[in-house]
Structure 1
């Protein structure tokens, strides 16, 4: 299992690209600090996760993917606990997964509405070149 931490330059690009000023704040809520995500890539279980601690209760936000028969990835879904929605958690997962695809020079199919929305809202990050349409 590998850890995927955003570099300072990635954090700068990511946060200055966001349209929502709420996501730019440095607030801390239930163990999650917007500017310091710790996204874990679990290749064996084919998922990216962020562990969230809310008053002693540990929950995970998860982005699931699968490797298709043609060795291309398919991003299936993002799941964020209700208490952490709207705080940029899913955006961190989407960015980590898409950066992995770029770094590995893979092709991807997107089945998750949120990830498709993230790609469309951030065209300057260049993810479109790696996405294949059906």
Structure 2
């Protein structure tokens, strides 16, 4: 179960990109931002015993615009807050990088409706 989401900031060293902040749940799952492949991933349960990971994919559509395309959470880890953890990380990325977003994914649209934070809503292109 994911009882509470907390932000953990890792140290920024020479080999660490600007997206080195990661989100983590109370039970140890951590969101990793893979800028090269334009996705956020989390391996539920810290990766023990499984290769399946949850993924939120995006793509750049302009210099300061992205499309939040899809989320996928393995069936065994659904209803545990994993998609919310991924979406929160993606929304924080938009805020930090001052990006605007088109949202194609139904789950991300629902998350924004359920969490109507103005600094999130201002970044969405309708």
TM range (shorter): 0.7 to 0.9
TM-score after normalising by structure 1: 0.71
TM-score after normalising by structure 2: 0.76
* Corresponding residue for residue 96 of structure 2: 103
Q: What runs of 5+ residues in structure 1 fail to find an aligned partner?
A: 12-25, 27-32
Task: Tell me the distance in 2 between the aligned counterparts of 1:130 and 1:120.
Answer: 13
Q: Number of residue pairs matched? A: 108
* Corresponding residue for residue 79 of structure 1: 72
RMSD: 2.2
Query: Which of residues 39, 45, 63 in structure 2 aligns to 1:47?
Result: 39
Task: Tell me the distance in 2 between the aligned counterparts of 1:106 and 1:112.
Answer: 17
2:90 is paired with a residue of what secondary structure? helix
2:29 is paired with a residue of what secondary structure? coil
Q: What runs of 5+ residues in structure 2 fail to find an aligned partner?
A: 1-16
Task: Tell me the distance in 2 between the aligned counterparts of 1:83 and 1:69.
Answer: 36
